Amino acid sequence: MQSWLDYFPHWHEPVSVHPVVADVLSLGPRDEAELDFARFVDAAPKTEVHVHAEAAVAPSFYAGLAGQPAGPAAPFSDFGDFLRRWMRNLGHLREAADYARLGRAFVADRAARRIVRCECHLSPLDTSLYRARAAPGLPELPLADNLRHFAAGLRDGMVAAGGQVRVRAVVDLVSVATEDDLRAAYAALAPFVDSTDNRDANGERIVVAIGLGGPEQPARAAFFQTALAPFRALGLRLDLHSGEQLHVSPAEHAQAVALLSPDRVGHGFRGAADGFYFAGAIAACPLSNVLLRCHPDSLASHPIADMYARTLNVSINTDDPLLLGTNLVLEYVALRRCFGFDRDFFAATQKNAEAQLLSLR
């Protein structure tokens, strides 16, 4: 069997297939029909709305910063194991200018993969407010500088791509944030949002939303309902990680989205057992859910098939492809192999992804 990289050399890195997804993925296409489908998806201009920039660049990016690549690490024992690997990669970001490099590398990766419209998550607090707690001994980077440099990197990358790629950013706050943390984050974001530093070559905002990620804390939804209001008053949308992690019940997921009224929900599958799904935009990441053990069973029992059958506003996304060893083409290949989803599914979920772009609402 020839490898995926033999057919798609612009992917740059070998595909990593882990035992938990070996029933739906292999190191190369299993037949000509699967290869034809992969070629179709790869060649099509695509939209992705839930991907973390720090984990969506080539391994060589981190090698250039630290002298060693940061390749796939999945599968993980649990979500906490994933977060530890995540922080290890972020330890390579030692100066704010590294965020400009990250922005340029991220746009270049999007261009190579023909993902022409993208809204990416960024976690700049992890190397600023939280670095002393999570990685003592590493330099604590000023949050405002991280934002400014990342936006500059995206802007430069989009220009280098000839305007063919449009990337916008979602700045992730963290579910364990204190009031002091949020005040510090607001102090950095408030003057930045409408500044020229947050504008692309056409004068449009680059950072368009805030996110809420990290370990889900359903009991804190009421706190964030109030605490996030100043950020939303800046004109920033809310992209909420919810209904992802194993400890979250359907009722807790439902309560969180009811209280916070997000503009888009990332993952959003934990309510399936009770037949509950967020009524708005859902950015699904099926392979991530399996590889992070948030969905402890095989892909075949993932609610994505039910979401699609209900004609929900659901899109397909990769979440953290560098750490998971996946990409957007392989997401669709795995779903085709598992559920028989074909080009109609690709077209429908891509249409949903375009409608979910927060920057165009």
Please give the tally of structural domains in the chain: 1
- The predicted-structure confidence for 134-162, as pLDDT tens digits, reads as follows 778 888 999 999 999 999 999 999 999 99
* Tens of pLDDT, residues 289-328: 999 999 999 999 999 999 999 999 999 999 999 999 899 9
Handedness of CA 265, 267, 272, 273 (dihedral sign): negative
Of 215 and 69, the one with more pLDDT? 215
Residues 6+ apart with CB under 8 A from 255: 218, 221
Q: Is the pLDDT of residue 226 over 70?
A: yes
Sequence-separated (6 or more) residues with CB below 8 Å from residue 188:
142, 143, 144, 147
pLDDT of 274 over the 80 cut: yes
Joined together, the tokens standing for residue 74 give 């999945």
Predicted local confidence at residue 89, as pLDDT: 86
Q: Does residue 71 carry a pLDDT above 70?
A: no
Tell me if the pTM is above 0.85.
Answer: yes
Q: Residue 340 belongs to what domain range?
A: 4-360
pLDDT of 171-203, one tens digit each?
A: 999 998 999 999 999 999 999 999 999 999 999
Task: Take residue 130 and report the two structure tokens written for it.
Answer: 């939280």
Q: What is the mean pLDDT of the chain?
A: 93
Count the neighbouring beta carbons within 10 Å of the beta carbon of residue 358.
Answer: 18
Query: At 307, phi and psi to the nearest 5?
Result: -60, -45
Amino acid identity, position 196: T
Percent of the chain beyond pLDDT 90? 80
Higher pLDDT, 69 or 7: 7
Nearest to 167 by CA among 105, 211, 123: 105
User: In CATH, what number is assigned to the domain containing residue 185?
Assistant: 3.20.20.140
- Residue 151: other Cβ atoms inside 10 A: 25
Looking at the predicted structure, is the pLDDT value of residue 130 above 90?
no
Q: What confidence score (pLDDT) does residue 53 get?
A: 98
Residue 72 confidence (pLDDT) above 70: no
